[in-house]
Amino acid sequence: MNGMNFADDSPVYVISVAAQLSGLHPQTLRTYDRMGLVSPGRTAGRGRRYSTRDIEMLREIQRLSQEEGINLAGIKHILELQREVARLRDEVARLHSLIGNLGNELESTRAVAARLAKLRHDPDPGGRDLVPIRQTSVVLWRQTGDNP
């Protein structure tokens, strides 16, 4: 394509090309669109434009229908469940990241609590800061004159 790179979800194929690539009739693609099985992008004039991901989905629908004998209502339900599973996986990954961040914050808080406990028993910490000051904070404060 003249050296241009398209993402898998870039809507680039007109319905006739998408039909050829998927091995389906254009009317079948229109039916799938009406049913919400595959929702291609639209041009300003409302023409359908299919992405590589759409073509793969059309092939999978065809496989489920022909090889597995699943009707279109069943396929629609399967696709909805697959989308929900993908959404939930993303949410689980986000929550794992959040838990990791909270764990790091908890460890920092525990370290400060330990220093406080030690300070309580040893009132002269020997010039050590209770909470270590980041060098960037000190430099920024000295440059701006603002009190942190």
d(C-alpha 84, C-alpha 6), whole Å? 26
How far is 82 from 36, CA to CA, in rounded Å?
14
**Average pLDDT for 114-118:** 88
Percent of the chain with pLDDT over 90: 64
Rg of the chain (C-alpha set): 29
Which pLDDT value is given to residue 3?
47
Span 93-97, average pLDDT? 97
* Digit-coded pLDDT (tens) for 32-85: 999 999 999 998 888 899 999 999 999 999 999 999 999 999 999 999 999 999
| Buried/exposed code over 12-27 (b: 16+ C-beta within 10 A; e: otherwise) | bbebeebbebbebebe
Measure the CA–CA gap between 94 and 108, rounded to whole angstroms. 21
Kindly indicate the confidence band of residue 1, based on its pLDDT and cuts at 50, 70 and 90: very low
Task: Output the pLDDT for position 46.
Answer: 86
Rounded to the nearest angstrom, the gap between the alpha carbon of residue 59 and the centroid of all alpha carbons in its chain is 24
Torsion, Cα of 45, 46, 48, 52 (10° steps): 80
Q: What is the pLDDT of residue 2?
A: 46
| DSSP-assigned beta bridge partners for residue 48 | 42
Asked if pLDDT for residue 126 goes beyond 70, the answer is no
Q: Which residue has the higher pLDDT, 33 or 129?
A: 33
The per-residue pLDDT for 73 is 95
Q: Whose structure tokens read 């430099």?
A: 139
> What is the tens place of the pLDDT at every residue in 103-112?
999 999 999 9
